[in-house]
C-alpha cells in the first residue's frame, strides 16, 4: 500500500457495513484462533450492530474497497480490524493514531488469547491496567483492559506525583459527574439503560454486574468490574488509579474505594495559583485490587494500594489500610484478620421438593451445637 489515508465515515450504507463485517470476519479467522465456528457465527450480529451504531468510525481503503477500519465511543476503542492482506502495511497503526489523536481514545480491551494484538497495542503506548476472566458479555474469553500510557492520564495512574488540576482531567471528572448524575437521577432508565451508561464510563463492566443508585466516581475509566458483581447504594470510587474487582464480588452500601494520596504537610497539600491564575494541586494514586468471591459489608473504606484476596469477607465499618489475604474474615479500624473462612461457615441451601427454603442440613455451621 503506497499511501495510507484514514477516512472518517459520514454515511453508513448497508453496503459499507456489509463490507466492513467481511473485513472483521476475515481478520478474526486469521488471528483469533481461539474462536470456534459457532463463536464467529454468534458474534456476527453483534459486529453489525456496533458498525451501525458506534459513535466514531473510520476506514482505510485500497482500490476503493475498505481493507481496515476502527470504531470508538467515549474514549474507548471498540474495534480495530484489518484484512489479512493489509496486515503489516501500517494500516492498524494509522487507524490507532487517528483514534488517539482525533477521537481521544485512551482505553481498549484485548482478548488475552490474542498475544499479537496485545504486543501491537503495547508497542503503541498502551499498558495492561486490569484483567477480567470473561468478556463483557460473560463469555469465557479472558479480557485484558488496556490504558494509554502517555500524557497526564498516564502520570495520574503511575503512582507518582502529578498535576491533579490539569484541565484534561477536570474535563474527565465533569463528564463522569454528568453521566453518574443521570445514572442516579433519571427514573426513565431501565436496567439495560443503566448498564449501558455504566458500560460507556467504566473501564469494564462484566456480564451480570450491577450498581445501585447513589454511586459516584472521579473518572470512571479506572474502575474495572468483573462478572456477577453487585454494589449496593451509595458506593464511591475515587479512581485516579485502577480499582479492579474480580468476579462474584458483593459490596454493601456506603462503601468507599479511594486510590488518592495527598502531601502530609498542609502547605504542600493546598491548592495554589500561578501568575496566570491557573490552579495547581499535587496528588498521587495507588491501585486497589479486590479478588474473586469477596464480600465487603456496609460502610467499609478501602485505602490506596490495598489488595483483598479471593474469598475474603470484610466486616461492616472496617477501614482497610493493608493487604488482606485470601479466604479470611477481617474486621476493624484498622482492618485485621480475625479468622479464616472454613467449611464450618458453609450454609447448605436446600430448596426442597417444592422449591421452598432455605433449610439447613443439621446444626448451623456457626451455631455452638
The residue among 149, 139, 82, 150 whose CA lies nearest residue 116 is 82
The C-alpha cell that represents 202 in the structure block:
467504566
- The residue annotated as part of the active site, out of 32, 33, 98, 262, is 262
What's the angle, vertex CA 82, arms to CA 77 and CA 16, rounded to 5?
85
3-state DSSP of 76-143: EEEEEEECHHHCCCCHHHHHHHHHHHHHCCCEEEEECCCHHHHHHHHHCCEEEEEEECCCCCCCCCCE
Burial class (CB in 10 A: 0-12, 13-18, 19+), 106: buried
| Contact assessment for residue 81 and residue 23, using Cβ atoms and an 8 Å cutoff | yes
Query: How many Å apart are CA 252 and CA 240, to the nearest integer?
Result: 22
Residues 6+ apart with CB under 8 A from 21: 44, 47, 48, 51
If you write DSSP's letter for every residue of 341-365 in order, what string do you get? --GGGPPP---TTTT-----SSS-T
Q: Give kind and range of the element (H or E) at residue 65.
A: strand 65-73
* 32 noted as active-site residue: no
3-state DSSP of 176-195: HHHHHHHHHHCCCCCHHHHH
Burial class (CB in 10 A: 0-12, 13-18, 19+), 241: buried
| Contact assessment for residue 301 and residue 255, using Cβ atoms and an 8 Å cutoff | yes
Beta bridge partners of 260: 285
The C-alpha cell that represents 332 in the structure block:
476493624
User: Which residues are marked as active site?
Assistant: 262
Amino acid at each position: 500500500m503506497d499511501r495510507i489515508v484514514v477516512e472518517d465515515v459520514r454515511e453508513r450504507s448497508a453496503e459499507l457495513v456489509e463490507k466492513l463485517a467481511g473485513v472483521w470476519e476475515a481478520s478474526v479467522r486469521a488471528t483469533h484462533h481461539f474462536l470456534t465456528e459457532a463463536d464467529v457465527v454468534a458474534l456476527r450480529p453483534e459486529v453489525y450492530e456496533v458498525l451501525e451504531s458506534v459513535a466514531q468510525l473510520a476506514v482505510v481503503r485500497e482500490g476503493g474497497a475498505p481493507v481496515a477500519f476502527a470504531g470508538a465511543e467515549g474514549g474507548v476503542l471498540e474495534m480495530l480490524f484489518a484484512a489479512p492482506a493489509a496486515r503489516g502495511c501500517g494500516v492498524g497503526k494509522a487507524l490507532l493514531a487517528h483514534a488517539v489523536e482525533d477521537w481521544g481514545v485512551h482505553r481498549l480491551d484485548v482478548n488475552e488469547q490474542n498475544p499479537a494484538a496485545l504486543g501491537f497495542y503495547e508497542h503503541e503506548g498502551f499498558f495492561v491496567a486490569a484483567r477480567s476472566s470473561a468478556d463483557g458479555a460473560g463469555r469465557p474469553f479472558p479480557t485484558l483492559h488496556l490504558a494509554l500510557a502517555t500524557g497526564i492520564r498516564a502520570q495520574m495512574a503511575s503512582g507518582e506525583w502529578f498535576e491533579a488540576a490539569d484541565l484534561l482531567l477536570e474535563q474527565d471528572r465533569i463528564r463522569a459527574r454528568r453521566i453518574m448524575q443521570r445514572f442516579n437521577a433519571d427514573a426513565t432508565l431501565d436496567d439495560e439503560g443503566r448498564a449501558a451508561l455504566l458500560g460507556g464510563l467504566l473501564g469494564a463492566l462484566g456480564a451480570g454486574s450491577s450498581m445501585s443508585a447513589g454511586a459516584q466516581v472521579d473518572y470512571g475509566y479506572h474502575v474495572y468490574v468483573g462478572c456477577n458483581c453487585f454494589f449496593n447504594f451509595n458506593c464511591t470510587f475515587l479512581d485516579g488509579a485502577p480499582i479492579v474487582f474480580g468476579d462474584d464480588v458483593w459490596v454493601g452500601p456506603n462503601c468507599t474505594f479511594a486510590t488518592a494520596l495527598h502531601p502530609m504537610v498542609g502547605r504542600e497539600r493546598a491548592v495554589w495559583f500561578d501568575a496566570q491564575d491557573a490552579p495547581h494541586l499535587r496528588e498521587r494514586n495507588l491501585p486497589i485490587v479486590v479478588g474473586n468471591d469477596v464480600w465487603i459489608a456496609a460502610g467499609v473504606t478501602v485505602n490506596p494500594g490495598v489488595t483483598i484476596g479471593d474469598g475474603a469477607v470484610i466486616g461492616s465499618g472496617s477501614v482497610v489500610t493493608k493487604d488482606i489475604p485470601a479466604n479470611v474474615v477481617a474486621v476493624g479500624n484498622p482492618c485485621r484478620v480475625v479468622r479464616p473462612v472454613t467449611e464450618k461457615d458453609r450454609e447448605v441451601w436446600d430448596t426442597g421438593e417444592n422449591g421452598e427454603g432455605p433449610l439447613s442440613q443439621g446444626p448451623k455451621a456457626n451455631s455452638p451445637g
